[in-house]
Amino acid sequence: MRGVVLHAPGDVRIEDRDDPRIIEPTDAILRLSATCSCGSDLWPYRGVEEVHDAVMGHEYVGIVEEIGAEVSTVQVGDFVVGSFWASDNTCEICRAGYQAYCVHRVLMGTIGTQATKARIPLADGTLVATPGQPDPDLIPSLMAASDVLGTGWFAAVAAEVGPGRTVAVVGDGAVGLLGVLAAKQLGAERIIAFSRHADRQALAREFGATDVVEERGDAGVGKVKELTNGLGAHSVIEAVGTQEAMDQAIRSTRPGGHVGFVGVSHDVSIPGDELFMAGVHLHGGPAPVRRFLPELIRLIWDRTIDPGKVFDLTLPLEQAAEGYRAMDERRATKVLLTL
């Protein structure tokens, strides 16, 4: 098969790799229909995380080609979507809805799904089949469900978005934009998107944002307060992972409100006294995407939502290196790799 390997910072190649095979009886082998690049892939690409000769990719959709003896919930030929964490979906943590912390979890990034095929551990707990073979135009949206949509959705759920709520979204990348979409689906009354980019503002509005705030930091917080009788938003999504974004999220939330944070934290420190006086709820981390996959697939299948719009560049897998370059040079936010 063909697969992406990061040999050294900046050195991405697509090359021949051994075909995956069933190792555990709970495994499945997929022939991938699409995969993609994630913002988190840029950390090793830029040398911030030291990685050599590493397989890449953790998002995937595709067709089941082979199943282990113990796999029963998916069949050969099924079109399936899975999360970036493989999970048994039966342990106590999974049953509580936290499949990203499954006691048997496997991080798909260690398997590398920027490839034509992939072995999926714990297939019964990890994969969800679509109702049939999808129309080609649904593939980007199903691909988004594998990570960015599931992550934005989790952020909205963690922020306790619901009817009558005012929601603010910090971060206008793919996850933030899909947090807006999730907030709309979950019935939010008002959705305030922080964004300075015209194209992302437009997509935020298309996904359901009612207000766009260009200010950041305390000026941005001030704007949210203005829009909420001085109280702050009920629910705030943090989808960046920086100190500024976390501060902005906490300060934009009213006392008793909820912050859902999914930006991967980089050098963030939360002052205890400020959090104490803020009186907000704080919840986040790696999204348990598996919890939401059945519902997300249904919404995509019914064409209720179109989260695939967050992909702003589509390339064949063979041109993965160009996809990395485009993201590194900020010419693209999220790259779909087709097969």
Residue 246 binding a copy of itself, by CB under 8 A: yes
At closest approach, how far in Å is the CB of 245 from a copy of itself?
10
| Residue pair 158/261 in contact by the 8 Å Cβ criterion | yes
Binding segment toward a copy of itself, per CB under 8 A, in 45-53, 123-131, 225-233, 319-327: 225-233
Residue 282 binding a copy of itself, by CB under 8 A: yes
Residue 265 binding a copy of itself, by CB under 8 A: yes
List the x/- string, 92-131, binding to a copy of itself by CB under 8 A. xx--xxx-xx-x----------------------------
Of residues 231, 313, 321, 339, which one binds a copy of itself by CB under 8 A? 231
| Residue pair 16/62 in contact by the 8 Å Cβ criterion | no
> Which candidate, 266, 285, 243, 48, places its Cα nearest to that of 158?
285
Tokens 């702003």 correspond to what residue? 312
Strands 79-82, 85-86: pairing kind: unpaired
Would you say 21 or 266 has its CB closer to a copy of itself? Answer: 266
Would you say 256 or 294 has its CB closer to a copy of itself? Answer: 256
User: CA-to-CA distance for 268 and 241, rounded, in angstroms?
Assistant: 7
| Residue pair 129/80 in contact by the 8 Å Cβ criterion | yes
Q: Which two tokens stand for residue 70?
A: 């113990």
> Which candidate, 103, 137, 1, 115, places its Cα nearest to that of 55?
115
Residue 150 binding a copy of itself, by CB under 8 A: no
User: CA-to-CA distance for 164 and 254, rounded, in angstroms?
Assistant: 14
Would you say 130 or 228 has its CB closer to a copy of itself? Answer: 228
Residues within window 49-88 making contact with a copy of itself, judged by CB under 8 A: none
| Residue pair 61/97 in contact by the 8 Å Cβ criterion | no
User: CA-to-CA distance for 105 and 99, rounded, in angstroms?
Assistant: 8
- Which amino acid would we find at residue 211? D
> Which candidate, 115, 107, 122, 2, places its Cα nearest to that of 61?
115
Binding segment toward a copy of itself, per CB under 8 A, in 8-16, 202-210, 278-286, 321-329: 278-286
Strands 211-213, 233-238: pairing kind: unpaired
Would you say 100 or 122 has its CB closer to a copy of itself? Answer: 100
Q: Which two tokens stand for residue 39?
A: 């913002």
At closest approach, how far in Å is the CB of 285 from a copy of itself?
4
Would you say 222 or 319 has its CB closer to a copy of itself? Answer: 222
At closest approach, how far in Å is the CB of 178 from a copy of itself?
19
Residue 266 binding a copy of itself, by CB under 8 A: yes
Residue 255 binding a copy of itself, by CB under 8 A: yes
The neighbouring-strand residues paired with 127 are 82
Residue 290 binding a copy of itself, by CB under 8 A: no
- E strands, 24-132, in order: 28-36, 54-55, 61-67, 79-82, 85-86, 106-107, 117-120, 127-129
Binding segment toward a copy of itself, per CB under 8 A, in 33-41, 107-115, 224-232, 309-317: 224-232
Residue 261 binding a copy of itself, by CB under 8 A: yes
Interaction site with a copy of itself (CB under 8 A): 92-93, 96-98, 100-101, 103, 229-231, 241, 243, 246, 254-256, 261, 264-273, 275-286, 288
